[in-house]
Amino acid sequence: MASHAIGVLGAGYVGLTTAACLARLGHAVTCVDIDEPKVAGLRRGEVPITEPGLAELVSGPRYTTDHRELAAAEFVFVCVPTPMGEGGQADLSGFDGAVDALRPVLRPGTVLVVKSTVPIGTADRLARAWPDHPVVSNPEFLREGHAVEDFLHPGRVVIGSDDGAAARRTAALYAGLGAPVVRTGPASAELAKYASNAYLALRLSYVNVLSELCEQVGADVGTVTRVMGLDARIGPACLDPGPGWGGSCLPKDTAALARSAADLGVDPALLRAAVAVNERQPGRVAEKVRAVVGADGLDGIRLGLLGLTFKAGTSDLRDSPALAVARRLAAEGAVLTGYDPAVPAASPQVAPVQAVDDPSLVAKGAAAIVVLTEWPEFTALDWAQLAGLAEGDAVIDTRRLLDPAKLRSCGLTCLPLGGQ
Ligand SMILES: NC(=O)c1ccc[n+]([C@@H]2O[C@H](COP(=O)([O-])OP(=O)(O)OC[C@H]3O[C@@H](n4cnc5c(N)ncnc54)[C@H](O)[C@@H]3O)[C@@H](O)[C@H]2O)c1
Ligand SMILES: O=c1ccn([C@@H]2O[C@H](COP(=O)(O)OP(=O)(O)O[C@H]3O[C@H](CO)[C@@H](O)[C@H](O)[C@H]3O)[C@@H](O)[C@H]2O)c(=O)[nH]1
């Protein structure tokens, strides 16, 4: 496969993974980030995020804070943040600023490849603003915690552009992966990204409603979703109930799609319902806690939390449902101690939770233990020891991770979300 000179703008989850994996495919990659300490660390081979397989690839690209080093690039992949703005739409100020900074640097013909998740119409807008540059929408579908694996073995590579030659050249960069390539116009590519994330959000809110229903009727949501997942049209993935769906993507992308739909006069009710269910979910968990702790409420009650990140396998705390639950419990006066294998003790980022580095400190004096992230290592904790340290015997398992029979043998009562 031919090697090309590639620039990557942004060295976060997407940019760093893209840069490292494109270098792994044999391309000459220069990765630019404005975060000087991050760039200095990357130059020393330090990986700033928890991503299996990234450490082995991090030495592939060159890292710099100087945009001028992109002057020779044939392609520049834009991988900068597009956070939620007020009113739900994507805030493109950082994205636009980052792209504008390339203007004095890039030579005519350099392909602008948009990997950031951007509202429908963004690639067209860029193509008008950059008449000397082909623009390609190439949304990214990687999951945190599986970033390298997902990049190197993608379900699909989406290439959206009105410039056929640039689309072909961009698709060729991925030739080594042997993945299905979907060539399309830019609007379909941009919408396909939002459509995928919002679909996952809809599905998860549906499962969380089912879990509530299961508790009411004495059914078991694990069995219900297993039956659903055996239907090939439904499939088994992404059917686990939990304390809500979070992270840096699903919430902001669902809100942005709902906002775009509303702005275009398309009824966003379905999307808004999924968001509303999700916003209710921390309250549902708090209700379960109140039910076991007693009628006097949570004021001054010690609770132990297991898991603080937005899902297992990542240290990312952005929009973590675990923290949404924690804030909810703290607002009712609960005193919270939390353990997460990816969160250092005393981390200020998880306030109002006091983060500790030992699960037994979570159990000590706790009226109840609440499992909020599905770290597999929680199944192997010494539950008999934790039972001895806790005041109460209830373990509220919002991830349905633990074996209730095993906990029972340790003198604990496991209450899985969604019944059992
Ligand atoms: N995180 C994911 O799993 C994921 C997956 C698919 C798509 N996306 C999308 O990719 C985009 C990036 O997300 P992320 O999670 O990688 O973000 P991130 O916050 O992890 O990283 C963004 C990086 O961009 C850098 N940056 C900011 N402004 C810059 C500028 N002007 N020039 C150079 N660098 C700059 C930051 O310093 C940071 O290192 C977003 O649009 C997101 O929606 C994210
Ligand atoms: O069965 C499930 C699966 C997920 N979740 C929760 O849903 C959220 C999102 O999980 P996941 O999709 O694994 O996280 P991300 O790494 O943010 O990945 C999503 O967001 C990325 C950014 O756009 C996309 O690229 C990915 O395809 C998309 O899965 C987390 O809070 C999970 O705990 C559940 O509650 N139950």
Q: Do 95 and 82 form a contact (C-beta atoms < 8 A)?
A: yes
Output the residue whose Cα is nearest ligand 2's atom 33: 311
Nearest CA owner, ligand 1 atom 18: 12
Alpha carbon of 390 to ligand 2 centroid (Å) = 32
Distance of CA 362 to the CA centre of its chain: 26
Q: 240: Cβ below 6 Å to ligand 2? A: yes
Which stretches of the chain score pLDDT less than 70?
Answer: none
CB atoms within 10 A of CB 377: 10
Of 316, 285, 2, 379, residue with least CA distance to 143: 316
> Which of ligand 1's atoms lies nearest the C-alpha of 9?
33
In angstroms, the CA 127 to CA 129 distance is 6
- Please give the positions annotated as active site: 249
Concatenated DSSP letters for 341-394? TTS-TT-GGGTTSEEES-HHHHHTT-SEEEE-S--GGGGGS-HHHHHHH-SS-E
Please report the pLDDT score of residue 308 as a whole number. Answer: 98
Instruction: State yes or no: ipTM above 0.90.
Output: yes
Report the pLDDT value the prediction gives residue 12, as an integer from 0 to 100: 98
List binding-site positions. 33, 38, 82, 117, 141-144, 193, 246, 252, 311, 318
Q: Name the closest-CA residue to atom 21, ligand 1.
A: 12
Q: How far is the CA of 15 from the centre of ligand 1 (A)?
A: 6
**Residue nearest atom 3 of ligand 2, based on CA coordinates:** 238
Write down the pLDDT at residue 2: 86
Most ligand 2 atoms within 8 A of CB, residue of 144, 199, 252 to mutate: 144
Residue 89 DSSP code: S
What's the distance, Cα to Cα, between the start and end of the chain in Å?
53
> Two tokens at 312?
């297992």
The single-letter DSSP state of residue 84 is B
Count of residues making up the chain: 420
Q: Which ligand is nearest the CA of 235, by number?
A: 2
102 neighbors 129 (Cβ within 8 angstroms):
no
Amino acid identity for residue 325 in this structure: V
Output the CA 115–ligand 1 centroid distance in Å: 9
Between 269-293 and 186-217, two packed helices, what is the crossing angle to 10 degrees? 30
Residue 266 has φ and ψ, to the nearest 5°, of -100, 130
Beta bridge partners of 305: 338, 370
Of 247, 251, 281, residue with least CA distance to 417: 281
Of 50, 47, 27, whose CA–CA distance to 39 is shortest? 47
pLDDT for the residue 176: 86
* Whole-number Å distance between alpha carbons of 342 and 106: 39
Distance CA 221, CA 201 (A): 18
- Position in ligand 2 atom list of the atom nearest CA 319: 31
Distance CA 342, CA 357 (A): 10
Ligand positioned closest to the Cα atom of 118: 1
Helical (H) or strand (E) element with 281: helix 269-293
User: Ligand 2 in contact with 246 (CB < 6 A)?
Assistant: yes
Distance from C-alpha of 358 to C-alpha of 48, rounded to nearest angstrom: 23
Pocket of ligand 2, candidates 196, 249, 254, 398: which has the most ligand atoms within 8 Å of its Cβ, to mutate?
Answer: 249
- Confirm if 62 and 69 have CB atoms less than 8 A apart: yes
Least Cα distance to 279 among 326, 322, 245, 329 occurs for: 245
- Listed in sequence order, the residues at least 6 apart from 51 whose beta carbon sits closer than 8 Å to its beta carbon are 13, 17, 144, 145, 147, 148
- Per the annotation, where are the binding residues for NAD(+)? 33, 38, 82, 117, 144, 252, 318
Q: CA-CA distance, 104 to 100, in Å (whole number)?
A: 8
In terms of phi and psi (left: phi > 0; alpha: psi -120 to 50; beta: otherwise), the region of 274 is: alpha
Contact between 63 and 43 (Cβ < 8 Å): yes
Residues contacting 323, CB < 8 A, separation 6+ = 308, 317, 350, 353
CA of 203, nearest ligand number: 2
**By alpha-carbon position, which residue is closest to atom 1 of ligand 1?**
13
pTM: 0.97
Helix (DSSP H) and strand (DSSP E) numbers for the chain: 15, 14
Ligand nearest to the CA of 399: 2
Residue 393 identity (one-letter amino acid): D
The pLDDT, as a whole number, for residue 294 is 79
Ligand 1 shell residues, CB under 6 Å = 9-15, 32-35, 38, 79-82, 94, 97-98, 101, 116-117, 140, 142, 144, 248-249
Q: Is 321 in the pocket of ligand 2 (CB under 6 A)?
A: yes
Beta-carbon contacts of 223 under 8 Å, excluding residues fewer than 6 positions away, are none
Set out the domains of the chain in order of their start, with CATH numbers: 5-184 (3.40.50.720), 185-419 (3.40.50.720)
* Residue 416 CB less than 6 A away from ligand 2: no
Q: pLDDT value at position 293?
A: 92
3-state secondary structure of 304: strand
Atom of ligand 2 nearest to the CA of 208: 35
